[in-house]
Structures are given as structure tokens and as C-alpha cells.
Amino acid sequence: MQVLFSRDTVVVNAAIIGASGYSGAELLRVLSSHPGVRVRMVTAASSAGQRVDALYPAFAGQCDLTYGELVPEGLDGIDVAFVALPSGEAMKIVPLLKEKVGRVVDLGGDFRLRSPGLYEEYYRHRHTAPELLAHAVYGLPEINRDSIAGAPLVANPGCYPTAAILAILPALKHGIINPGGIVINSLSGISGAGRSASVDMSFAEINENVRAYKIGTHQHIPEIETVLAGASDAPVSVSFVPHLIPITRGIYTTAHAGLAVALTVAELLTVYEEFYASHPFVRITRQVPQILAVTRTNFCDIGIAIESRTNQLIIMSVIDNLVKGAAGQAVQNMNLMFGLPETAGLK
């Protein structure tokens, strides 16, 4: 579906399923200022009947929507549905959404992996809609822009994989690094853990603390490996360790990989700049990237260093986990799906 884009004309009617969580609220924030979109429906089972600005006072005077429950008749006239639910929930409702809505963007992990067995191994529950896996397009615009444009179902990437894949892919695709034994360490703000209350995510446990978790078992490991392998046509193995740090939002990723060819930093920067020249949300920096430079934006900043003593390429990337790592990237995908400018609502 191609639509005409005008700042004075609403062209896309959107629904946010699971709008009370951090990613859903961020989606509402971004879409509320999108010149070509009208959010007509927000659902949240636990907050049904409550106004959005009662749960999130920042929306006062900007949004008069009320959370409701997901009912099929409520989807009439909806052009795109964003699903911002925990993994394991989207697969239960996406079959229904696909019958009622032309385009669906899932921000969870249910449709990122083609293999139901791999999904069940890492997500620890059975996939109930495996027939849709082969039809979902992985929603990383920097590698799948054309496929996203025609996709009825887009699987929005995870926040950690977004930062890691964008950092590593150019070097891998050009044969600059060895595809085996890539080491990835990522530091994330606690909003990535979701809005549900738990002792482990409480202020007293997180403040003035750093903690690694899901070492070697994180559900994003197969996502990183399979996407990198598919884009580079070579088997890829990574060692990935995520960490929680006491900030609200942002991801800082550092990837280490053995150099396969001898290049200078200046030459590597040229490779990266040329690789991402047509992609508006990836910025290659000659400085050490920092989270503050991308907070509340859809940008991914990437920096490069060489450790000559060990012949290692060190790649650093930073994103806002709620924007480029979730809601912003979902809107970027929606723009491509509806023929809107890729940056609409995001700059």
C-alpha cells in the first residue's frame, strides 16, 4: 500500500497492543508527533478503562486516549497494529491481527527466529504459530529495507541485537574480521527489563550496582548469530554477555573480533561510512561513542579502535534501547511499509 505523505493529512491509522509498558508508551510518544499517523486504539489488559495520561502524566494535554481490551471489532479501520507485549504473547494474537489488519509490527521476540526449535530452546516455551515464522521479515532496515517495504508482518529486532549487529556487520561482510569467537559485551539501562515490578529490578538492587545476567543463555544469542550469518553468508559464533547498569535507558555495546586483514582505523572508518551512507540513523564517529549522544533518538552511533597487540578490532555502538532498540525502529519499519519517508516522526 503506497500512500501520499502530507503534514496536513492523516494517512495511517494505528493501534498499539500492549501500550502501557515502556516500549508501548514510547511508541505512543513517537507516533503522537508523527505527521502521517493517527493512533486510534491503545490496549492494555491490566489498565483497561484507565486514561493514558493517568498512567503516564507526561501525556497530559497531549493524549486523550483510554486503554481498552483487544477485541476484533475494535480493529476495524486500523491500517497497522504494533504489538508491544512480552515474548510468548504476540504469537497468540498475531494470527487474529493478520486477519483484521493489513500490516503488523511485533516488538517482541516471537517472530525473529525462523526455527521453532531454536525459539523454544532459548525462550523456554512452545511456539504456537510456527506457520508464520517463514513469512515474518526481520525488521532491521539497514539490511532488509526492501523486504520490509512489502511485508505484512515485521519482527522488530531485539535491542541488544540491533546494537551488536549494526556494529559488527560491515566488518564481517567485508571479510575484515574472523566470523568465529566474536565477543560481545553490552550494558543496558533497566527499562530494557520492562515495567513489571520485581525485587531484582528495584532501586535498592540496581542503584550503584552492575550485574551480568543470562550468561551464555540469553535469548538474543541465536538472533545475533543467525542474522549475522545470513547477511554475511558465513557461519558466525558469538560470546554474548549482557549487563544491567543503573541508568534508565540506553545500551552500550563493545564487540571484540580477530582481524583477518591489515587495515588502519582510517580505512576501517571509510568502510563503515560507505556501508551506512544511505542509512539515515547510523552515524560513524571518530570519537568514543557515548549513550548521552543518542538518548531519546533513533540513532546508532558506532566507533572503532584497533588493539594491535592482540590484532583485535574493537567496535563500540550506542543506542537508546526504547527508541532504535524498540519503538523508534518499529516506526522506521512502519514508514517503509507505507511508503512514507523513512525518517518521518523520528527526527
Q: Are 149 and 112 in contact (CB under 8 A)?
A: no
DSSP string, 205-230: HHTT--EE-STTT-TTHHHHHHHHHH
3-class secondary structure per residue, 29-97: HHHHCCCCEEEEEEECHHHCCCEHHHHCHHHCCCCCCECECCCHHHHCCCCEEEECCCCCCHHHHHHHH
| Alpha carbons 76 and 74: distance in angstroms, whole number | 6
Does the active-site annotation cover 159? yes
| Residues 121, 245, 224, 216, CA torsion sign | negative
Q: What are the residue ranges of helices labelled H in the chain?
A: 22-32, 52-55, 90-100, 116-123, 141-149, 159-173, 203-206, 221-232, 265-275, 328-337
- Radius of gyration over alpha carbons of the chain, in Å? 20
| Alpha carbons 149 and 103: distance in angstroms, whole number | 10
Measured in degrees and rounded to the nearest 5, phi and psi for residue 202 equal -75, 160
Question: The C-alpha cell of 116 is what?
Answer: 521453532
Catalytic, out of 80, 159, 291, 331: 159
Q: Are 90 and 111 in contact (CB under 8 A)?
A: yes
Backbone dihedral region of 311: left (phi > 0), alpha (psi from -120 to 50 degrees) or beta? left
Q: Annotated catalytic sites, by residue?
A: 159
